[in-house]
């Protein structure tokens, strides 16, 4: 929200690395496309905590509203390793804004939308193997935006794709007497959409509202949905899992290495001196053949027995500056928040929660600043190492994306990219000539 609903304790509350004692994360062990939404109320200082959440929820798509970003903040500053991003900043002031993070293992296309009034949104098509595109939208409705129903109706009208929309709509579904709520529900019914979040998404000492929604036009594909009572902002996180029959590509990273658990130089010398058949080497009439037999059939086979190859999965890790003390401290505000949501009459618990989350955020800010300062001082005489360190901390002026964006020609996905480039450059003159007398008409729909 911007101004309509009063904030009590509008401070970022981070999440611990191990949060199973606070929130039941068993649901995220289910296979499928994991989507989450968070109203961040300024994304930049909360990136590290958001990364912890993505690890615990195995999020494939992360929708963020109220990013509070502007053009001076580059994509590199908000980059999360393993994810590409698509954003839409508010141009009139420093508030609002929407953004979607997409895991690099997913192919996607950004869906351009002509600006409609003050509607803030960003859209992508997720391209799953052997499946039609799934339209994912991240929408933010500022309070007191009276033209929203008309604009939203224009935006989604005529869309025939499977669609999932996550966002902060600032329409309290629990308030059945509000005329706006009735108009909103009627609009959803007209377009065959369901709102699948049923619990309050924002709870303060004075209010309990359901304003963060997830909309879908095929709810039978959604296996799980709900809220996570994280205290990252004054909104809870909403989530849904869309079933997926095909496994994601490159979901995990693996590394191979030799296990030296049983290796000793003495064991190697003893094995080389015992029962080794050198006949394949001695009987070779050509140097390369003798070497290959020596290397492949003797040395490699021998080493495989003494120091066998092992394959391990590389797990996600926290930031380098995220100390054990901070991770322990992160649990406390969420325990207090959980106690308060279970019994809202204890306002003293809510006050303690606000104080502690302030303390946590200050501790994180100072620890991160000290870590960066020490790294700069440590490498100030080594420019190459200094630049490598800053780049690792996302302080780079290069905007390099690893997005698996699919090249398209109209509505058709291009598989033969080289062929399409050849066709484009051999016909570009004629294509431009054919377009000269025509005038393009932009549509506000997808």
102 and 4 share one domain: yes
106 and 138 share one domain: yes
145 and 223 share one domain: yes
Scored b (16 or more CB within 10 A) or e, 217-241 reads: bebebbeebbbbbbbbbbbbbbbbb
231 and 364 share one domain: yes
DSSP state, 220?
Answer: G
231 and 322 share one domain: yes
Quote the pLDDT of residue 314.
55
Instruction: Quote the crossing angle between the two packed helices 383-392 and 347-379, to the nearest 10°.
Output: 160
Quote the pLDDT of residue 15.
44
In a domain, 255, yes or no: no
In a domain, 313, yes or no: no
pLDDT in tens, the chain (446 residues): 454 333 333 333 344 444 444 456 788 888 899 999 999 999 998 898 888 888 888 899 999 999 999 888 999 999 998 999 999 998 877 789 999 999 999 999 999 887 666 789 999 999 988 788 999 999 999 988 888 999 999 888 888 899 999 999 999 999 989 999 999 999 999 999 999 999 999 988 888 999 999 999 999 999 999 999 887 788 999 999 998 754 444 556 666 767 777 778 888 787 777 767 777 788 888 887 788 777 776 777 778 888 888 776 655 555 666 766 676 677 778 788 888 888 777 788 888 888 888 888 888 888 888 888 887 887 777 777 777 777 766 555 554 444 566 666 665 555 556 677 777 778 777 777 777 765 555 545 56
Q: Can you point out the beta strands (E) in 318-416? A: 404-405, 408-409, 412-413
Q: How many domains does the chain have?
A: 2
Scored b (16 or more CB within 10 A) or e, 268-295 reads: eeeeeeeeeeeeebeeeeeeeeeeebee
Q: What contacts 57, CB < 8 A, 6 or more positions away?
A: 25, 28, 34, 36, 228, 239
11 and 118 share one domain: yes
241 and 282 share one domain: no
335 and 431 share one domain: yes
Q: Could you give the angle at the alpha carbon of 159 between the alpha carbons of 158 and 162, nearest 5°? A: 155
Quote the pLDDT of residue 245.
59
16 and 110 share one domain: yes
Which range marks the domain in which residue 297 is found? 260-307
CATH number at residue 128: 3.60.10.10
86 and 2 share one domain: yes
In a domain, 312, yes or no: no
In a domain, 167, yes or no: yes
Diameter over CA atoms, the chain: 94
Q: Where are the alpha helices (DSSP H) in 114-203?
A: 148-156, 179-190
302 and 170 share one domain: no
246 and 264 share one domain: no
Quote the pLDDT of residue 8.
33
| Residue with the two structure tokens 């979901």 | 251
């Amino acid at each position: 929200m911007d101004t309509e609903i009063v904030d009590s304790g509008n401070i970022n509350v981070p999440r611990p690395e191990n949060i199973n004692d606070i929130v039941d994360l068993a649901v995220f062990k289910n296979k499928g496309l994991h989507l989450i939404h968070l109203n961040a109320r300024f994304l930049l200082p909360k990136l590290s905590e958001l990364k912890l959440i993505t690890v615990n929820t195995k999020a494939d798509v992360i929708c963020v509203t109220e990013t509070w970003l502007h053009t001076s903040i580059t994509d590199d500053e908000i980059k999360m390793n393993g994810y590409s991003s698509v954003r839409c900043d508010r141009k009139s002031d420093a508030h609002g804004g929407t953004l979607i993070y997409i895991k690099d293992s997913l192919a996607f296309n950004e869906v351009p939308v002509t600006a409609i009034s003050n509607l803030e949104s960003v859209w992508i098509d997720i391209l799953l193997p052997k499946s039609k595109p799934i339209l994912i939208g991240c929408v933010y409705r500022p309070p007191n935006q009276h033209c929203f129903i008309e604009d939203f109706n224009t935006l989604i009208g005529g869309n025939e794709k499977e669609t999932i929309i996550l966002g902060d709509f600032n329409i309290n579904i629990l308030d059945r007497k509000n005329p706006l709520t009735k108009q909103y529900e009627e609009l959803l019914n007209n377009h065959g959409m369901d709102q699948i979040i049923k619990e309050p998404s924002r709870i303060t000492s004075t209010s309990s509202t359901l304003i963060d929604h997830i909309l879908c036009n095929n709810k039978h594909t959604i296996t799980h949905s709900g809220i996570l009572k994280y205290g990252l902002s004054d909104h809870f996180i909403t989530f849904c899992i869309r079933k997926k029959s095909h496994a994601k590509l490159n979901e995990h990273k693996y590394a191979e290495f030799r296990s030296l658990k049983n290796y000793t130089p003495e064991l190697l010398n003893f094995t080389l001196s015992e029962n080794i058949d050198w006949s394949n080497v001695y009987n070779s009439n050509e140097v390369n053949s003798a070497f290959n037999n020596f290397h492949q059939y003797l040395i490699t086979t021998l080493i495989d027995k003494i120091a066998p190859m092992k394959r391990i999965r590389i797990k996600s890790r926290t930031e380098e500056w995220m100390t054990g003390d901070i991770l322990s401290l992160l649990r406390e505000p969420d325990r207090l928040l959980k106690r308060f949501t279970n019994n809202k009459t204890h306002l003293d618990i809510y006050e303690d929660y606000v104080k502690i989350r302030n303390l946590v955020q200050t501790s994180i800010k100072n620890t991160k600043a000290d870590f960066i300062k020490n790294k700069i001082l440590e490498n100030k005489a080594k420019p190459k190492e200094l630049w490598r360190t800053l780049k690792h901390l996302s302080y780079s002026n290069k905007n390099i994306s690893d997005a698996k964006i699919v090249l398209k020609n109209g509505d058709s996905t291009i598989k033969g990219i080289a062929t399409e480039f050849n066709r484009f450059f051999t016909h570009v003159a004629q294509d431009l000539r054919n377009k000269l007398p025509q005038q393009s008409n932009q549509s506000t729909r997808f």
